[in-house]
Structure 1
Amino acid sequence: MAAAEGTDDKHSHTTAILVASAAAIGGFLFGYDTSVINGAVAAIQREFEISSVTLGFVVSSALLGAMVGAWFAGPLANRLGRVRVMVIAAIIFLISAIGSALAVHPVDLTIWRVLGGLGVGAASVIAPAYIAEIAPAKLRGRLGSLQQLAIVAGIFVALLVDYIIADVSGGASEETPWGGTAWRWMFASGAVPAVIYGIMALQIPESPRYLVSKNELTKAKDVLKRLIGGNVDGRIREIQRSLRSDKPVRLSDLRGPVLGLLGIVWVGILLSVFQQFVGINVIFYYSSVLWEAVGFDSNNSMLISVITSVTNIVTTVIAIMLVDRIGRKPLLMAGAAIMTVSLGTMAVVFASAPLVENAQGEMQPELQGVAGPIALVAANLFVFGFGCSWGPVVWVLLGEMFGNRIRASALALAAGAQWLANWAVSTTFPWLSEKGLGLAYGLYAGFAFLAFFFVWRAVRETKGRELEDMDNPAAARA
């Protein structure tokens, strides 16, 4: 009998992994959208003849849409179901990819990017929430990390596609052999993962917690048997108990004594903000332009960006292996320490580099001697520190740290804060880089340093706990 139960558990865990992997493809869209513009940045600026400030807004405009999409994804998911929202997100991203490729002006490009952000923002909230709701407790950290693995895979594929298109065309501003400018095909390529995500979303079951909330108990039991195995009646009763006080998503659900919000909500918001304020998306939005600025040619700059994204994938796999063994908090603290050192090194290298005039008459830092390799190693060490900690672990925590009653609204608010912080960093980087890359990286190093102490004092470990346990009032206090 024990052997049979063990076999059933193994089968259900395999099913849970496959279902979570399909849901995590929403993270792939997130990562793809984050980096597909990387190879197009310089070409867009040249074609539309826009300033660095305007360029920063165009590049980061998708994040404004993502912030809105993240907030409304929660109420929509509670009304329509998790799977339907995934399909809607895929359709929106598909339309955005095609529209961005056909843009004729910075204004309509910005509009299409904002529209795509709506889909990406919705997917960024639904995927971790769905995975947390279908995953067995012993696997939840690893399965939650699949979201970040999908994100970094999306980043890698987008950068690789950019590199191939630019290499075949002779540059992002050049005509491709099959017609049309290279940077437009970079955007158009986003249609492929959007279609795949939509198809995969239609193949997975609805969240058992959503089904219980709609009183579809038979369907919920069937899903739980497939994903968890064994006798699921007790789990159904636990979900019913935790959902009895469930209400429509409102900010009023999150009110508390700490500056108007519950302490646990502030922890989620600050985790999201610190994740972005260390400057990770500067690497993935502007890395090609950055490496061109310090002496690498266009193709080599894109190739370096591809290599950096591979580092990100490898470190995320490491995090998936460790998150349920070591725990969430130790990984976050270790990652913050690594990022502080690597960003501090980059700040010193760029601050001390001599300025030289480029072909456009602009003054840019020139990394001489060993400074170039040191900067490259430090950048990849920074990606390593982020990839094995703050990248995946923050998404895991956001999916599991809130009680059932407030999960949708708290996760939506935290994700919205994350996208807003991402937008702030991405928009200000072109301006900051003109003031000096040493200043920019020094600022990000300071935030990484603060993040270490924030985790040490405010973040509680969630490893191995059932989601229903988060409804305990003690777990809702920071």
Structure 2
Amino acid sequence: MTDAGLSRISGRVIGIAIAAALGGFLFGYDTSVINGAVDALAADFDLGAGLKGFSVSIALLGAALGAWFAGSIANRWGRVPVMLLAAVLFFVSSILSGLAFSVWDLMIWRAVGGIGVGAASVIAPAYIAEVSPARIRGRLGSLQQLAIVLGIFAALLTNALLAATSGGAAETFWLGIETWRWMFIAEAVPAVVYGVMSLRLPESPRYLVRKGDYDKASQVLLDFSGEPDVNLKIQQIKDSLNLEKRESMADLLGPALGLKPIVWVGVLLSVFQQFVGINVIFYYSTTLWRSVGFDENSALLTSVITSVTNIVVTIVAILLVDRVGRKALLLAGSVLMTISLGVMALAFSFATTAADGSVALEGAWSIIALIAANLFVVGFGTTWGPVVWVLLGEMFPNRIRASALAVAAAAQWVANFAISTTFPWLSGISLTLAYGLYAAFSALSFFFVWRRVRETKGMELESMDDR
């Protein structure tokens, strides 16, 4: 094939990978939009610390549910229909969360949006891995994380702009609706874009082979993946899928505490990705920076700056993942996160607590905490953020990919829920305890990767096994 032909095919596969990764954008937007709204809605609905934490994290339970069922739905109906379903759920959740008349009403619609988040978190990395050539699969798989951090940035920036324009998240804005409600409603726009883009995507060739539609699978492989021998690739996919046996959750069972070892690796990668506490930064950062002396607008702006940092380092990760490899990046990230979280724990040991329970950092320690938090974002954003999604999309054998990814993603959302729900309680005891705990998990993640994670750089999906 000529260089021009390869360039055309690469452009096509990059295009559909970007479109699929828009689910990651909504994933990031939906899980971070609560950041700027949480204090205002807590005051509006008169929430205590426990209910405030649950209102933040309820979407994560919905995400665990969506992730769990997304694999079986994708195997039955295809990858693209799951994307369309997620777009609809995002849209409904955004509008009705913004119009909620009670905290219970809000939590229901946040959970609905969470189901869409969970489904998108499973289907985007699986789809991207299944349409991508091995030589650039890592970079294309990293687009999922880039889309997530862009979604986080868009949510934080939208929140900051709305709050600055209206005078605060609790203030009344357009049509007599409070600003924090508009923060949720604004998500309807990218939800519509995602739905429209999903309608234009080709189905995954590996799903088409599973359903016996070899002609369409061949066309997708030829047009988008640039396979030099389509018939050989179809046969390899057929062999790896073991078509005589229909995929089910039972295929994940094995001798290691009930699951295949490779499934446990995926589950623990997901759990460690959340137990380092990254989403504490993105869910509670506005509240956190107000505690170190920033006013609401400055705290929102600082959260946006942190998000921009995350975008930049994710782009760096995209450039490195197919060169350096997955395992080396994870190990380096574990070291950097452990150091930065340890410094944050130390900084907050010098904090003072006011009579109302608010925490304040003064002098140099406030700057040290800010630098350490952004260093943590750098460490996560260049390594564990994108690389875990790349690995989850490619590390499982074809026959169990969707189901195994669903289990791993569900575990990730449960872990995210646990961390997000317990942070207000832990921080009420001691921020040093909270960040010290996350630092300990970061250190443990290094040894887990060293012993259990194998390199997948440059490997064909058909060569993945159950080990």
* Whole-angstrom CA distance in 2 between matches of 1:249 and 1:237: 18
Q: Which of 133-142 and 76-85 deviates more?
A: 76-85
Are 1:467 and 2:464 an aligned pair?
A: no
| 1:441 counterpart = 2:438 | no
SS in structure 2 at match of 1:257: coil
2:391 and 2:300 map into 1 onto residues whose CA distance is 33
Q: Is the 8 A contact 1:93 1:116 kept in 2?
A: yes
Secondary structure in structure 1 of the residue aligned to 2:366 = helix
After superposition, the C-alpha distances for 1:158-178 in whole angstroms (9 at most, x for unaligned) are 000000000011110001155
User: Percent identical across equivalent pairs?
Assistant: 62
Q: Paired residue for 2:248?
A: 250
1:406-417, aligned counterparts within 5 Å? 406-417=400-411
Cross-structure match for 1:318: 316
Q: Is the contact made by 1:350 and 1:438 (CA closer than 8 Å) also made in structure 2?
A: yes
Q: CA deviation at 1:407?
A: 0.8
Q: Determine which of 47, 51, 67 is the counterpart of 2:44.
A: 47
The one-character-per-residue Cα deviations of 1:416-438 (angstroms, maximum 9, x if unpaired) are: 00000000000011111111111
Residue identity in the other structure for 2:275: F
Displacement of 1:399: 0.4
What does 1:67-86 correspond to in 2, within 5 Å? 67-86=64-83
Q: Do the aligned residues in 2 keep the contact of 1:132 with 1:140 (CA within 8 Å)?
A: yes
- Aligned equivalent of 2:304: 306
Looking at structure 1, the residues matched to 167 and 246 of structure 2 have their Cα atoms a distance apart, in angstroms, of: 53
Which residue matches 2:452? 458
* Structure 1 segments of 4+ aligned residues over 6 angstroms from their partners: none
Distance 1:249 1:241 in 2: 14
Is contact 1:249-1:408 (8 Å) kept? no
In structure 1, how many angstroms separate the alpha carbons of the residues matched to 2:96 and 2:182? 11
Q: Distance in 1 between matches of 2:235 and 2:243?
A: 14
Is the contact between residue 83 and residue 119 of structure 2 (CA under 8 Å) also seen in structure 1? yes
Task: Report whether the alignment pairs 1:168 with 2:165.
Answer: yes
Q: Secondary structure at the match of 1:406?
A: helix
Output the amino acid matched with 2:396.
F
- Aligned residue for 2:34? 37
Q: Which residue of 2 aligns with 1:186?
A: 183
| 8 A Cα contact 1:74 1:249, kept in partner | no
Report the secondary structure of 2:454's partner residue: coil
Encode CA deviations 1:407-454: one digit per residue, 9 max, x unaligned: 111100000000000000000111111111111101100000000111
The SS at the match of 2:349 is helix
Q: Is the 8 A contact 1:135 1:228 kept in 2?
A: yes
Alignment RMSD: 1.1
Partner of 1:97: 94
Note the 1:129-148 alignment, pairs <5 A.
129-148=126-145
Paired residues for 1:103-142 under 5 Å: 103-142=100-139
Deviation at 1:294, TM superposition (A): 2.1
In 2, Cα distance between equivalents of 1:368 and 1:250: 56
The Cα shift of 1:260 comes to 1.3
Deviation of 1:256 after TM superposition, in Å, equals 1.2
Q: Shift of residue 8 of structure 1?
A: 1.8
Quick one: distance in 2 between partners of 1:220 and 1:431? Answer: 51
What is aligned with 2:421?
427
Work out whether residues 125 and 411 of structure 1, in 8 Å CA contact, stay in contact via their aligned partners in 2.
yes
Deviation at 1:235, TM superposition (A): 0.7
8 A Cα contact 1:74 1:408, kept in partner: yes
Alignment CA distance shift 1:238-1:69 (3 Å): same
1:340-389, Cα deviation, whole Å (9 max, x unpaired): 000000001001222234xxxx1333211111111100000000000000
From 13, 21, 29, the equivalent of 1:16 is 13
- What is the TM-score of this pair, normalised by structure 2? 0.98
Quote the Cα distance in structure 2 between the aligned partners of 1:433 and 1:354.
13
Q: Alpha-carbon deviations, 1:49-69, whole Å to 9, x = none?
A: 011111111110000010010
Shift of 1:128: 0.2
C-alpha separation between the residues in 1 aligned to 2:178 and 2:364? Answer: 37
Q: Give the structure 2 partner of residue 376 of structure 1.
A: 370
Q: Shift of the alpha carbon at 1:81?
A: 0.8
Structure 2 counterpart SS, 1:396:
helix
1-structure distance, mates of 2:90, 2:39 = 23
Measure the CA separation in 1 of the matches of 2:354 and 2:187. 37
How far off is 1:248 after superposition?
4.5
Tell me the TM-score normalised to structure 1 length: 0.96
What corresponds to 2:203 in structure 1?
A: 206
CA distance in 2, matches of 1:215, 1:40: 48
Preserved CA contact (<8 Å) 2:350 2:361: no
1:1-54 deviations in Å (ceiling 9; x for gaps)? xxx533222211111111101000000011001111100010011000011111
Q: Deviations over 1:59-95 (max 9, x none)?
A: 1000001001001111111111111110111001100
> SS where residue 255 of structure 2 aligns?
strand
Q: What is the CA–CA distance in structure 2 between the aligned matches of 1:264 and 1:243, rounded to whole Å? A: 17
CA contact (8 A) 2:25 2:151 kept: yes
